[in-house]
Structure formats: C-alpha cells, structure tokens
Chain A
C-alpha cells in the first residue's frame, strides 16, 4: 500500500504535508547541496517586508537548553529585490512557494505586499507573519493602537481579525496566518483569523525568551529578548495545536521543535494537517526529506491509507 500524503490548504494543493518554517530556510537555494528541494511539500520564504531591512545588531543567536534564541529582526532585501533576485530560482523548483510577509508600520504595508504578490502567478500562498517577536510596533489601519506597543498583532484577537480581513479583501491567494504562542489563549486568536477569512493557521511562532551571560551580566542577544525555538518548545506547540484543533475548522500547519519523524507525527495526531520544519534545518539540513520518508513508513506500518486520517486522531 502506498499511503496518500497529499493535502489541500485553501486552494493550495500539496503533494505532501511537510514544509519549512519561515526564516529557517532562507530562500531555499542555501539548501540545494543537501536535499532535492523538489521533494518538499511547500517552501515558506524568509519573511519579506516592503522595504529592505537590515535587521537587528549582533549577537543575534545563541544556544539555549534544547533550543536556541534568535533575534534576527526580519533582515530581508525587500519585496522588489526578492521578486527580482530570489523568486526566479524558487519558481523553477516546481514546489508551491508560500511568501511570508510582515510589517512594522501597519496594515497598509501588509495590503501593498499582498496586492503585489497577488499578481505574481507563482506565489502559491501568502503567510501573514503577525507574530514575529523581534520587531516592535502594533498598528492597525494606520491607527496606532498603543504607543510604542510591545504587543504583536497576533496578541490581540481584534487586531488579528482586522488585519486578516483587510488582506483577505485584496487577494484571492490562499492565506495562512501565523500565530504567536505568547498569548493567554491562542484559540481565541485562531478563531479571529478564521472568522476573518484566513484559509489556515500556522502555529507556533517562537516563544519570547531571554538568556544572560553571568560573567558579563549582559544579555546573550543584543536585542535583549529573542524568540525561543527548537525541541524545548515542542510540548507547548503540540498543546496549542490540540487546543486550536478543537475550536476551528480550517486546517492547522503545526510547528515548533520538530526534529524528526516522531516529533512531526505528534503534531498530526494533535490536529495538524501539515507541519513545518524549522530549527532542525540548521542542525540537519536533510531533516525535511528524512521526515517525508519517515511519515510514509509510519503510515504503511500502521495501515493508515491517508495522512488526513492521522490529523486529530489522538486517543483520549
């Protein structure tokens, strides 16, 4: 028996449910020596903003127990350079390309980005990164909701609803909303994204963390606080997938510390329709391909004909 791995997210058809998490795979070319990129279910680009961003001062990363902290600050070349220099390579791969977008300034930038990307045929879907913990500012519809806000759009159900709704109006592309775990109740935010017309939610982004060098008494990351990722956050991520799965009808892309097949399977069983490999790409650039093979083998062994049957199949 050849188990079925194909899934749909909105209008997007994936040949398998294994993707890469934004920011951990560059623009894919960096990984071409290690894996056959064509085998991936989808590629999510590093987040793009309208103008180029230099990102945060170094040090930007450090190791944490079973994980890592990062505060890159969305360094990226901006939309124009991305489309001119990076999109061509991605197009030729024959893998659905999901472009992650973000803004520090407001909904207008999201709308401009979405409108521009809507016209690019080879963009399969748009991921709204409203949960990056390493940039400041929360503004919706040009109105500053909170002066020097430390809150992210995805930390506010109403702001999430308004942003997703506004983007939904300007694009017919599949919309994925990426959620932050740094909230009291993530399903409330997921419900807001669903109500506003998001085709899917991706969870989780990194947990906000901090590490201190006791010798110098300085934070290990120049930006002081940073996003924690890796196996350390996996149980939190699986729990959130499970909570959200019970509340919403749109599919979930689960992620957070997936290192191998077994950790990927946890997410499907807890309610994810697809998964993204993030930090593991840094440690084992072959992780995605190994997981695709591993899932197939698991389904065969367990006599599960279709990956869709695994989603939410947890026995309580």
Chain B
C-alpha cells in the first residue's frame, strides 16, 4: 500500500487557461514522487466552514516536485480555489485512489492500439496517463513498431478543446469532436469513437484495441456500450461527490456488477475514492 500524505502545498501558479478552465501547480515532494496517472488529490480549497468538505481533483501532470491540476470553475468550491494566489498554501491529501494500470494488457504492442477518450474536463488525468504510457511503451518496443496512441477529445465548442498540444507533444495522434461542430467532428466524442472503431482505417491483421477514458457519466456509459459491442476492453475514471476521499465515509459509491453473482445479489457498491476512481467500464451498472 502506498502511503497517503497530508501536506501544506505552496501554490506556484493558479491561472485561467480558457473560458472557465484553470490550471494550478502546487509543490509537494512526497506526493509528486509517488503519484500515478488516474490518482487524485483531495484539496481543502479554503480554511473556513463556508466550503466545508475537501474537493477531489485528478492529477493532471507531475513536473519534478510540482503537481499540476486542471479544473473547471463550476461551483463555490472551484470558484474559491480559482481565487487562491501564488505563494499561498493549500492543505492537500494524496495521492488517492487506484489510478490507471499502466501494465494493463501488456500483450503484443505492435498489434495494439491504445485509445484515450476524454470528454470535457476528462482530459485532466489523461494527459498524465499519455505521458507515462508513451514512456512505458517506448521502453518496451521500438517506436516504429507500434501504433501511436490515439486521443479523442470531446468538448462543447472549439474554445473548450483542452490539451490538444500536450497530447501531441507526448507522441499521440489527436482527433477532436465538438458538440456544435466548431472544431473537428460534429457530435459527441463517443460517436467519433464509434466511427473510428467501425471504420478501422487500418490495413493488416486486426488490431487489439484498449480504451482509457475520463469524462461525464453519460459519455462513459455510451463508451461502455461501444466497447461492449466491439469487444474492446475499456477502463474509465469516474467522478463522484466525496466527503472523505480516503475510504472511510462510504459516501462516493458506484454500483458494480459482481464478478460472481449470487442468487438475488448481482451487484455491489464500490467506493470511487478507494476501489476507483478507475473502473472496468463494462462492470459499472449505470
């Protein structure tokens, strides 16, 4: 078991990226050293009763001892967080949760395609994942032997397409879908995925595809259906309201199909903060 830390982390910067999206970096030697893609940090955005509970944020990137978050201002908690200034300290707990399994499906790389699907804010943990994946896979095989990871980014409109360059920089191919068609494919990112999976566009032996995803629940649900239909393995990082973030309150559960269903008992509740946030999407009961 990896140790979890509670730290007073100094804010290095906290700035608007675009629209209501912000990026912040804090220093934490302990957490940055052990954090894995898909894990999160629980932040006390302010030390008053006004915003009482911590707010969970997935780790967007780790840079040396810096932990970087990408977040959308959409409530009181994130509003206050966006006003916190460089040089101030944030009380953070992390790293929390299971994270993505980088060694998942380590079969023959040459014939495999990794697909990352991000909806809206879902890009946040996937950038960290892409960086590590490329590094891990790069060690295992020569670059020319493998097919580049494909990243599908979904957003409402073109100004909200996040992290396209970060994904490209880490060596991924990127395709974009917007709800209004202002950039790339017009429609949901899951429709883009469906099209990609059906068309294939690949010559040679059939590809073994695996999907890593993060985004709103309806997107993950649609994605699970596509993955199911096409017999593709898919894991995704789920979001939930949390109270403690450390597995003690049992507040953030999701319904998961039992591996061995018993009579009249085919599901169990699992904690997003502890057994998750990354789950096998096909096991989730939506």
Q: Do A and B bind each other?
A: yes
| Residue from B3, B240, B245, B250 in contact with A72 in the complex, judged by beta carbons closer than 8 Å | B250
* Cross-chain contact B253 with A55 (CB below 8 angstroms): yes
| Chain A residues positioned under 8 Å from B278 (CB to CB) | none
* Cross-chain contact A33 with B49 (CB below 8 angstroms): no
* Cross-chain contact A61 with B251 (CB below 8 angstroms): yes
Interface string of B255-281 (1 = CB under 8 A from A): 100000000000011000000000000
A17 within 8 A of partner (CB): no
* Cross-chain contact B52 with A61 (CB below 8 angstroms): no
| Chain A residues positioned under 8 Å from B241 (CB to CB) | 59, 61-63
| Chain B residues positioned under 8 Å from A30 (CB to CB) | 244, 246-248
A281 to nearest B CB, angstroms?
7
A264 to nearest B CB, angstroms?
15
Given A61-B241, A61-B243, CB of A283 within 8 Å of CB of B53: yes
Chain B: interface residue total (CB-CB under 8 A): 31
Give residues of chain B (1-50) contacting chain A, Cβ–Cβ below 8 Å. 3-6, 44, 49-50
A311 within 8 A of partner (CB): no
Interface of A is mostly: loop
Give residues of chain A (19-51) contacting chain B, Cβ–Cβ below 8 Å. 23-26, 30-31, 33-34, 46
* Cross-chain contact A54 with B268 (CB below 8 angstroms): yes
11 pairs from A and B in contact (CB 8 Å cutoff): A26-B249, A33-B3, A34-B93, A61-B243, A61-B249, A63-B51, A68-B53, A68-B243, A72-B250, A232-B49, A282-B53
| Residue from A60, A67, A259, A282 in contact with B253 in the complex, judged by beta carbons closer than 8 Å | A60
* Cross-chain contact B53 with A63 (CB below 8 angstroms): yes
Chain A interface size band reads 35 or more
CA distance in complex: A21, B242 (Å): 18
* Cross-chain contact A75 with B3 (CB below 8 angstroms): no
| Chain B residues positioned under 8 Å from A286 (CB to CB) | 6
CA distance in complex: A314, B91 (Å): 35
Given A54-B269, A66-B50, CB of A26 within 8 Å of CB of B247: yes
| Chain A residues positioned under 8 Å from B244 (CB to CB) | 24, 30, 281-282
* Cross-chain contact A31 with B252 (CB below 8 angstroms): no
| Chain B residues positioned under 8 Å from A181 (CB to CB) | none
A231 within 8 A of partner (CB): yes
* Cross-chain contact B3 with A282 (CB below 8 angstroms): no
A256 within 8 A of partner (CB): no
| Residue from A33, A72, A75, A231 in contact with B52 in the complex, judged by beta carbons closer than 8 Å | A231
Interface string of A246-284 (1 = CB under 8 A from B): 000000000000010000000000000000000101111
Give residues of chain A (262-316) contacting chain B, Cβ–Cβ below 8 Å. 279, 281-286
| Chain B residues positioned under 8 Å from A284 (CB to CB) | 44, 91
B81 within 8 A of partner (CB): no
CA distance in complex: A57, B269 (Å): 8
| Chain B residues positioned under 8 Å from A59 (CB to CB) | 240-241
CA distance in complex: A59, B49 (Å): 22
CA distance in complex: A32, B21 (Å): 35
B127 within 8 A of partner (CB): no
CA distance in complex: A31, B275 (Å): 17
* Cross-chain contact B248 with A31 (CB below 8 angstroms): yes
8 more CB-based (< 8 A) A-B contacts, given A33-B4, A75-B250, A282-B244 = A23-B249, A58-B269, A61-B241, A68-B53, A72-B249, A279-B243, A281-B244, A283-B44
| Chain B residues positioned under 8 Å from A133 (CB to CB) | none
Given A31-B246, A75-B269, CB of A58 within 8 Å of CB of B253: yes
Question: In chain B, what residue has the closest Cβ to A259?
Answer: B49
* Cross-chain contact A230 with B240 (CB below 8 angstroms): no
B54 within 8 A of partner (CB): yes
A70 within 8 A of partner (CB): yes
B11 to nearest A CB, angstroms?
19
B227 within 8 A of partner (CB): no
| Chain B residues positioned under 8 Å from A46 (CB to CB) | 248, 250
CA distance in complex: A293, B37 (Å): 37
| Chain B residues positioned under 8 Å from A75 (CB to CB) | 250, 253, 269
A204 to nearest B CB, angstroms?
18
| Residue from A66, A68, A285 in contact with B246 in the complex, judged by beta carbons closer than 8 Å | A285
| Chain B residues positioned under 8 Å from A259 (CB to CB) | 49
| Chain A residues positioned under 8 Å from B247 (CB to CB) | 26, 30
| Chain A residues positioned under 8 Å from B246 (CB to CB) | 30-31, 285
Interface string of A226-237 (1 = CB under 8 A from B): 000011100000
A216 to nearest B CB, angstroms?
14
* Cross-chain contact B250 with A60 (CB below 8 angstroms): yes
| Chain A residues positioned under 8 Å from B242 (CB to CB) | 61
B254 within 8 A of partner (CB): yes
Question: In chain A, what residue has the closest Cβ to B48?
Answer: A66
Question: In chain B, what residue has the closest Cβ to A61?
Answer: B251
